[in-house]
Chain A
Amino acid sequence: MNVPNELFYAKTHEWARKEGKKVYVGITDHAQHEITDIVHVELPEVGKKFSKSQPCAVVESVKSAFDIYSPVSGTVVEVNEELLSSPEIINQSPYEKGFFFVLEIENENELKELMSAEDYKKSL
């Protein structure tokens, strides 16, 4: 199972990658594997604010639908619209092309409350 070292992880299987004030958010390789083939995605609106652990997106596979929770608090500044027409990208590239959205983070300390790659691996 691929768990890149440089990312932060939530218990609910989202990852967060910091780039300056921006935080990229997606779901882990483990999550996409468990969800199985993703057939539909609902993304948040740009400009919408979310607090930590608030549901902000939905993924649907032939198995079921799952909420995606915001790993940190912030405002959505970009969403990955390509996922809407090609949700399989999440299965193929969960950490790169398959990111869900980008948040402008409110409080960087919240990243420290997330798990490291090592802790996330242990939790699986």
Chain B
Amino acid sequence: MNKLINEIRSNRNTDRVIKCDVPLDIEMDVRYKGQKSTNIPNLSENTLLRHFTNLSRRNYALSTTFYPLGSCTMKYNPVVNEKIAAFEEFSSVHPYQSEETVQGSLEIMYELEKSLCEVSGMDNFTLQPAAGAHGEYAGLLIIAGYFKSIKEKRTKIIVPDSAHGTNPASAALAGFEIISLKSDENGIVSPENLKAVLTKDVACMMMTVPNTLGVFEKNIAEISEILHQNGSLLYYDGANLNAVMGIVKPADIGFDVMHINLHKTFATPHGGGGPGAGPVGVKAFLKDFLPVPVIVKENNKFKISFGDKKKSIGKMKAFFGNFPVLLKACAYIKALGGAGLKEASEQAVLNANYVLSSLKDKVSIPAGSVCMHEFVLSSKGHLGDGVKTLDVAKKLLDYGYYAPTIYFPLIVEEAMMIEPTETESKQVLDEFTDVLLKIIEESVSNPEILHNAPVNTYVSRLNEVEAARKPKLHW
């Protein structure tokens, strides 16, 4: 970066500007004339290109390495979807165009909504929310709106400690009080524990199924009954829908509202490569609370409808949400089809279990030796003197891997959460587990190596504590 700044300061004029074909000798009104230099940074195209390429080479990305970041589901993003999203027919439309000139784009969104209904069993969807947590917030506003409409005062939301990490924050932002529910010894919600905290002012419980330990909530039918008998609703956090799509429909097992992280489930780009999309689905009795507008089909034409807005929670995002993301997800769903989506889930679960089976004798697996699409291991008692999970994660960077999620969920000590996803080959998984086991062995024979890791990366171990206590927010 310093090199780049010096180059800007040197103010070398290195670009050849194409000769202007507009006459410049017109006398300009003095009011519009600049009084001083605009001071626009002056860099040659090739300097700038090298700068960004070099920056990107310091990155760990799905396109450079295996990326088993548990809970985040770093699925491979098929290139064909990017190509489709770049079609001029989609990329050059504008949301202010009239309905009849954007029929294709409207049809894509209409079709996507129908596909999401099919996968989830829900009756209606909004495509507006721009990310998973944004979807959670929208879903909770819908629940709040519903209870307001039936004049019930419900102020609390139950969140199990094995739920997706953003749930308590979304619930707090939507104005609810959070009740944290402890998982039982098998890492799932027990009906007895639920009954102990359930009161008449509970609006809903937010569940992630399978949960963040990678375990299916096997009491879900009973849990759903207990909540609904209490007049409370059940919210499905779709963070882990990628483990059960084509196999279980959340609406069929009692959920009333849910969001789907399109970037996790349907392979759209993720994290810094986003933006994301977090469509929210509801059962029919909550339809009127969805954000507007919605897309409807009348006489084979697609229309933008604001319907009866009285109950709607309003808008969650400008226009229709992140349309290119919706388009990529739609392309993925159409390419795989129902059977393909089911196979993707099965393969994700198989891959996770394959890695788990190679590691289970060398580390602790608190939730048992069978998992869904991801699993959490505990390295406590398996590493050398003074070596922590953090050190193992740092060492993995030296071997060229992006490190798995660590210290989450909080209910597992020295946790490491591994999610291989469905597109990795047996060879990649074998290489990764070999490296991980080698690091665990090294932690005993030569702990120093781990304390000093990483050594092969662009920057070595950062002082995270100082960075949090005294952050340097500029260079």
B residues less than 8 Å from A63 (CB atoms): 407
A39, A64, A88: the one contacting B408 at CB < 8 Å is A64
B449 at the interface (CB under 8 A from A): no
B residues less than 8 Å from A67 (CB atoms): 180
How long is the Cα–Cα vector from A107 to B386 in the complex, in angstroms?
43
B28 at the interface (CB under 8 A from A): no
Task: Determine if B468 and A62 form an interchain contact, defined as CB atoms under 8 angstroms apart.
Answer: yes
How long is the Cα–Cα vector from A40 to B407 in the complex, in angstroms?
18
Task: Determine if A62 and B465 form an interchain contact, defined as CB atoms under 8 angstroms apart.
Answer: yes
Closest residue on chain B to residue A87 by CB atoms = B469
A37, A60, A64: the one contacting B410 at CB < 8 Å is A64
Task: Determine if A40 and B410 form an interchain contact, defined as CB atoms under 8 angstroms apart.
Answer: no
Task: Determine if B407 and A39 form an interchain contact, defined as CB atoms under 8 angstroms apart.
Answer: no
Closest residue on chain A to residue B410 by CB atoms = A64
Q: Kindly provide the distance from the CB of A85 to the nearest chain B CB, expressed in whole angstroms.
A: 10
How long is the Cα–Cα vector from A67 to B169 in the complex, in angstroms?
13
Q: Kindly provide the distance from the CB of A54 to the nearest chain B CB, expressed in whole angstroms.
A: 10
Task: Determine if A37 and B408 form an interchain contact, defined as CB atoms under 8 angstroms apart.
Answer: no
- SS of A interface (majority): mixed
A residues less than 8 Å from B180 (CB atoms): 67
How long is the Cα–Cα vector from A39 to B471 in the complex, in angstroms?
11
Among A40, A62, A64, chain B packs the most CB atoms within 10 A around the CB of: A62
A residues less than 8 Å from B465 (CB atoms): 37, 39, 62
B464 at the interface (CB under 8 A from A): yes
For chain B, the bracket of interface size reads under 10
Instruction: Please encode chain B, from 401 to 420, with 1 for each CB lying within 8 Å of some chain A CB and 0 for all others.
Output: 00000011010000000000
A residues less than 8 Å from B464 (CB atoms): 62
Chain A, range 34-75, C-beta contacts under 8 Å to B: 37, 39-40, 60, 62-64, 66-67
Task: Determine if B468 and A64 form an interchain contact, defined as CB atoms under 8 angstroms apart.
Answer: no
A residues less than 8 Å from B468 (CB atoms): 39-40, 60, 62
Chain B, range 179-210, C-beta contacts under 8 Å to A: 180
How long is the Cα–Cα vector from A88 to B468 in the complex, in angstroms?
12
Closest residue on chain B to residue A88 by CB atoms = B469
Task: Determine if B469 and A64 form an interchain contact, defined as CB atoms under 8 angstroms apart.
Answer: no
Closest residue on chain A to residue B469 by CB atoms = A39
Q: Kindly provide the distance from the CB of B380 to the nearest chain A CB, expressed in whole angstroms.
A: 11
Instruction: Please encode chain B, from 276 to 297, with 1 for each CB lying within 8 Å of some chain A CB and 0 for all others.
Output: 0000000000000000000000
A64, A87, A88: the one contacting B407 at CB < 8 Å is A64
B residues less than 8 Å from A60 (CB atoms): 468
B residues less than 8 Å from A62 (CB atoms): 464-465, 468
How long is the Cα–Cα vector from A87 to B470 in the complex, in angstroms?
12
Chain A, range 10-53, C-beta contacts under 8 Å to B: 37, 39-40
Closest residue on chain B to residue A86 by CB atoms = B469
* Additional 12 contacts, C-beta under 8 A, given A37-B465, A39-B465, A87-B469: A39-B468, A39-B469, A40-B468, A60-B468, A62-B464, A62-B465, A62-B468, A63-B407, A64-B407, A64-B408, A64-B410, A67-B180
Interface set of A (CB-CB < 8 Å, partner B): 37, 39-40, 60, 62-64, 66-67, 87-88
